[in-house]
Structure 1
Amino acid sequence: MKNIKSYAAIAALAFALTACGNNADTTTDTDTANTESAEAVEKVGEATAAGYNGDIKVKVTMEGETIKDIEVDHTESEGIGADAVPTLVEDIKKNNGTEGVDNVSGATVTSEALKTAVDDAIKAAK
């Protein structure tokens, strides 16, 4: 009878120790993977602002907190506002936002409208 009790106690102890196994590595890996995939998700925001020669519409693609792409649809004047748009887009991408981006000389209205639309689109993407 004593042997059966001993075996039962050993079996119960073994079961309890097995059930209390450490799964910390698995949980950490899963949590890290979920965090990384959430940050890698692209979000898109769109906005419009009044330019000098009509509306400036932008579509900003964000990857986490980083500007991945900016698409602009506009009717700004050739040789002035239209020439400023690509320069402004590149400066905004380099700065990852409009802060610190200077207006293009001679195209102040276009510059301000584009920066306003980009800021609004970034907010919409978040």
Structure 2
Amino acid sequence: MAIKIWDVATGALKLTLTGHIGQIYGLAFSPYHTCMFSAADDKQVKCWDLEYNKVIRSYHGHLSGVHCLALHPILDNVLFTGGSDSVCRVWDVRTKTQIHVLSHSNTVCSLLARSMDPQIVTGSHDSTIKFWDL
């Protein structure tokens, strides 16, 4: 599978990034660095350096497909990923270490990182929405 980046002004294809072997479900761009994160059905989360157009970090820990991801709007080193393994994993972006595992009883399909307190909101196929105080 591939990520395609387009020039919005001209409609021209600027770049194609390959590296995932499963369907890509989510992207998040860092407001602090020239990088982008991707989440896919291959259980992988990747960090792409957009200056050099290559993967610079991979985050391993999900047991099945990763369906959503979000960067914290204020904390520039915190990444959230949610997937079919019924958890939201909280990562330190720089060290690639998992900080927390936030559990549901079914697929985590949506994430919202809030700047207040700091908090993360997770939505799941278990019919719940949870607010987590980090």
If the TM-score is normalised by the length of the shorter chain, which range does it land in?
A: under 0.3
Between Structure 1 and Structure 2, the one with more strand by share is: 2
Between Structure 1 and Structure 2, the one with more helix by share is: 1
Q: Which has the higher contact order (CA 8 A, sep 6+)?
A: 1
